[in-house]
Structure 1
């Protein structure tokens, strides 16, 4: 590689790293607890105790649970429901109205039912008593810095800079270590040189993992605009023939249990977990929108939506997700490392810690170099030998 090309790559590595390092450190630090979010959630907020019953005990009809929820909060609107496939529970989400929920999302609340007995085992707290949980705090800092879409796009841009820093670092690794054995850390040299060698070593051995996690992280930051694009294109095209129809009134809604059963038959290899009611901003004005997901750990984040007419109960469509949403879904288990149980999570956490060391050492090397330039020693050091070439990368 020519000297000019090396200088260009070095500039890309330097500035992309400097701009994104602080935010990438925040992402890595918050990513550690998020890797173990299930374990931490169960520790901080243990799941409710369910009645001891045989595993084959049948579940209550969803229509009956909806009726009980409406009896508890007459006049309120059913927003959605969630049927867990890992625990015998059904969560029914309600709000005063869809319009009120859009103005103040905190008005949405849930009722947790035991799916077998139909008993209420928990209700969400009133809005004035709700507090941001530790895991929610970590997730918001990790995803959008509490700035919603603007924050997500900003963090996505930082992720792109991180990918640029990683690629440029890999390109520069060969030219600046060609006179050294692979993986050598020159312990007899200065502290800065030792940290430089460690920075280069840890960076190159984790490069592939960091590239995968960084690229999938950027894709995850685009989740909101990608789903919005899908709703405004494919979904709108599917619903175009119903634009003149009046959305069904609450009394006109067909059985949600029947809609759920139709979705199960349409997706025999999936769990149907969620039902979005007609009128919900995240659904259809005329349909129950039911979401199924894969049954294996790797396919658990692969979703397929089903539309059931909320007036007639007829199956309208099993919706094919576009390629960009499939790519987004596949990226999620790769990013979080939560598809292989606790052993894989531990590996992800260890690699995350190594990445923190790489980021912190890169920042230290830059600060040490500029501190040395700003406050030069009184005695000049001898000119560097050829083996010192890696320091020139700084």
Structure 2
């Protein structure tokens, strides 16, 4: 029977298939690299801007003063729809007020100290969260890769029935190929619980956009806020008529009196300066995985209840625990260091997995020198690109073009590896000069 496609077409299809697979592996590797880095997200912010004022606590009256100062600084601009006050925490002992357009660090008296400048930390977070793509596309793609890690972990166990029995078997002295395979399998076993937890929570966070929009379209006439209200609570109806700014002091005093064991991490003003404004306090509960509970207050300081993230339905508590479990934001610095170690191991597993496939292709007589060179370029280039963005932050400042720098260095490393591979291939293919006896 005559083949459906010509050999040349088939060869091009195989090359395209391999290239697509390489891109998927590269993105998965990037997610692991950046995820490991942003475990220290708060510490990176402190490193970026060491001169910002720090404090263990701030008085409620100083918070109100800071809000008033920031709103006054925005006079003439489009009114902000949300105003966030980051209260001092153990990981980030700073008070920062953020509006829709800008952010400021304030001192212990509520005076504006300096603008917040943590563009490098935000760049790393965005690279991990959405791969520098628009939010709905990037986060959905990252969520799919989380599901892919789950599938790879499960299929890896099935494909290696002796994987747990050989958990501590290393044949590093045999050859590079055997050593690569053993390190891949051993690290995969040692990090399996971590990988499954990270992958599952990452998939849930990343696919939130798809599931939220789908649920809103199917059951809530496209209202995304109504779709997530059963989990995170509802907001009062808005009223855009002008009104004086609310005070957060009554809400913070109420929390101190009635919930002394809860550490306030955020005070949020919704629609500030309007009659529909209200205050929301985010309180962190010790010895819990949840990122916090929402405490709702009216503009006059009246307590209106909680969302139920701490003591509501099991689904609510699970949803509120996903973020901290994914990023290691519990247990302090020891847990963060453990996440970094496991994150590095998972990154190595992803990297060596591609090399194992390439080695298998070599044994089959179908070597992929260009793919191998590209993968070496990616493996080295992405960490190099991140290091280059850090150097740019230190030399060029907060406005450095981090996205462009990262991708330029990464692609340059891939191009250099490809050129070196082709040069090596040409040297090997060059015919030997015949020798003549005298």
- Whether TM exceeds 0.5 here: the answer is yes
In the TM superposition, residue 357 of structure 1 has moved relative to its aligned partner by 2.2
Q: Identify the residue that residue 171 of structure 1 maps to in structure 2.
A: 158
* 1:250 and 2:250 aligned: no
Work out which structure has the larger RCO, using CA pairs closer than 8 Å and 6 or more positions apart in sequence.
1
C-alpha distance 335-83 of structure 1, shift in aligned 2 (>3 A):
closer
Alpha-carbon distance in 2 for matches of 1:62, 1:182: 54
Alpha-carbon distance in 1 for matches of 2:203, 2:128: 12
In the TM superposition, residue 146 of structure 1 has moved relative to its aligned partner by 1.8
Q: Identify the residue that residue 274 of structure 1 maps to in structure 2.
A: 266
TM-score (norm 1): 0.69
In the TM superposition, residue 254 of structure 1 has moved relative to its aligned partner by 4.4
C-alpha distance 239-348 of structure 1, shift in aligned 2 (>3 A):
closer
Q: Out of 104, 112, 115, which is 1:111 matched to?
A: 104
Q: Identify the residue that residue 201 of structure 2 maps to in structure 1.
A: 216
Q: Identify the residue that residue 105 of structure 1 maps to in structure 2.
A: none
In the TM superposition, residue 164 of structure 1 has moved relative to its aligned partner by 0.5
Alpha-carbon distance in 1 for matches of 2:340, 2:234: 44
Alpha-carbon distance in 1 for matches of 2:93, 2:171: 58
Name stretches of at least 5 consecutive residues in structure 2 with no aligned partner: 1-20, 217-223, 368-438
Q: Is the 8 A contact 2:146 2:199 kept in 1?
A: yes
C-alpha distance 67-300 of structure 1, shift in aligned 2 (>3 A):
farther
C-alpha distance 193-47 of structure 1, shift in aligned 2 (>3 A):
same
Q: Identify the residue that residue 135 of structure 1 maps to in structure 2.
A: 121
Q: Identify the residue that residue 386 of structure 1 maps to in structure 2.
A: none
C-alpha distance 57-149 of structure 1, shift in aligned 2 (>3 A):
closer
| More deviation, 81-90/147-156 | 81-90
TM-score (norm 2): 0.63
C-alpha distance 219-266 of structure 1, shift in aligned 2 (>3 A):
farther
C-alpha distance 137-326 of structure 1, shift in aligned 2 (>3 A):
same
Q: Out of 138, 141, 144, which is 1:151 matched to?
A: 138
Q: Identify the residue that residue 294 of structure 1 maps to in structure 2.
A: 284
* 1:80 and 2:83 aligned: yes
In the TM superposition, residue 334 of structure 1 has moved relative to its aligned partner by 2.5
In the TM superposition, residue 47 of structure 1 has moved relative to its aligned partner by 4.2
C-alpha distance 340-183 of structure 1, shift in aligned 2 (>3 A):
same
SS in 2 for 1:277: strand
Q: Identify the residue that residue 389 of structure 2 maps to in structure 1.
A: none
Q: Out of 293, 316, 319, which is 2:304 matched to?
A: 316
Alpha-carbon distance in 2 for matches of 1:254, 1:134: 33
Name stretches of at least 5 consecutive residues in structure 1 with no aligned partner: 1-16, 95-100, 102-107, 126-131, 377-394
1:21-64 residue CA offsets vs partner (Å, 9 max, x unmatched)? 3222111211232122233322222142469xxx8995535443
Q: Is the 8 A contact 1:160 1:215 kept in 2?
A: yes
